[in-house]
A and B are shown apart, each in its own frame.
Chain A
């Protein structure tokens, strides 16, 4: 419960500070950001293009003079954040390997057991491990 409250305080702080630059957006936030800044242009110019084909981005570029710069900025920020989070999620277990061996001996992988173990051992885990778990969106 104590940790939950600490987490709550951290979340509130993060909320007040806007998006902390060191962290990544959730995929939901990234999707929402693209929709907010580019949605009107997509509906207007790219109504026949689907996300995930590259067509939406090409279409927005083709209408560059009519699409707000904010859309391009936020689109790039969302894509960069998604890429960073995917990379962190891919590397997390390697970066945390030493801590896992040290703190989680005997733990059965799966169902987030390793993550829970690392969180329970938060006082001894390395900053690099904690940092990558934050970027992965698994540590708040």
Chain B
């Protein structure tokens, strides 16, 4: 635990120092590098039954049946709440899946965390969410396209293995603040740590005498 704390501190420091060099005025968003690593590495338990496919189906069913929106969090949101996760803001062009350049840095920060040995053996689901502006079906489709775009950038530009990532669009079916369904706070990208890629490996052999 000390190690992780020290490491996270180092990342935050590196980010603070790197930001002025990179010259990005908006570099220090709430989703700092340290928070990304911290959120994703809090994986104490997994829910093997909650796969990307199951999530997509739950969202699709909610849209198809036009389930009423409640003031309480949806069933999907409640189940996702239990996983190790981070929420990031990625800026997209209006109504499209085009990632705006101001968010390239955030994509890189996510890649930095995923490539670090602390997280190297883990798999993730990238989830896109909208607010309730627009039709329910359109929101579902758009959020899936946006999640796909993020995964594509992480894989192609930043070299994260495609075996470690899945994209899921939940549309407006997992609102952050159900009491304010049109609040932009609901538009967000979440990344969940959902399991390991392979077994952790055997201990390093002690050198033969």
Contacts and interface: CB of A to CB of B under 8 A. Distances in A.
B156 interface: yes
A27 B109 contact: yes
A124 to B, nearest CB: 14
B44 to A, nearest CB: 12
Contacts of A109: 200-204
A111 B1 CA distance: 11
Interface string B91-103: 0010011111111
Contacts of A138: 116-117
Given A50-B97, A52-B152, A109-B204, A28 B118 contact: no
Contact of A51 (B22, B107, B118, B159): B107
B18 interface: yes
Interface string B141-179: 000000001001111111100000000000000000000
Contact of B22 (A14, A29, A42): A29
A107 B151 CA distance: 33
A51 B153 contact: yes
Interface stretch (B5-13, B58-66, B128-136): B5-13
Interface residues of B, number: 56
B112 A101 contact: no
A18 B18 CA distance: 9
A106 B204 contact: yes
Interface string B80-114: 00000000000001001111111111111101100
A73 interface: no
Nearest to B32: A28
B191 to A, nearest CB: 15
Interface string A117-128: 000000000000
Interface residues of A, number: 54
B23 A36 contact: yes
Contact of B157 (A18, A33, A51, A140): A51
B199 to A, nearest CB: 9
Interface in A75-108: 82, 85-86, 89, 100-102, 104-108
Nearest to B23: A36
Contacts of B104: 31-32, 34-35, 39, 51
B73 interface: no
Interface of B: 3, 6-7, 9-10, 13-15, 17-18, 20-24, 27, 33, 93, 96-109, 111-112, 115-118, 121, 149, 152-159, 200-207
15 contacts: A8-B13, A26-B14, A28-B33, A31-B157, A35-B102, A35-B104, A42-B101, A43-B100, A50-B97, A50-B149, A52-B156, A52-B157, A108-B203, A109-B203, A111-B117
Counting from the closest, the 4 A-B pairs by CB-CB distance are: A31-B108, A39-B101, A31-B104, A28-B108
Interface of A: 4, 7-8, 11-12, 14-15, 18-19, 26-36, 38-39, 42-43, 47-54, 82, 85-86, 89, 100-102, 104-112, 114-116, 137-138, 140
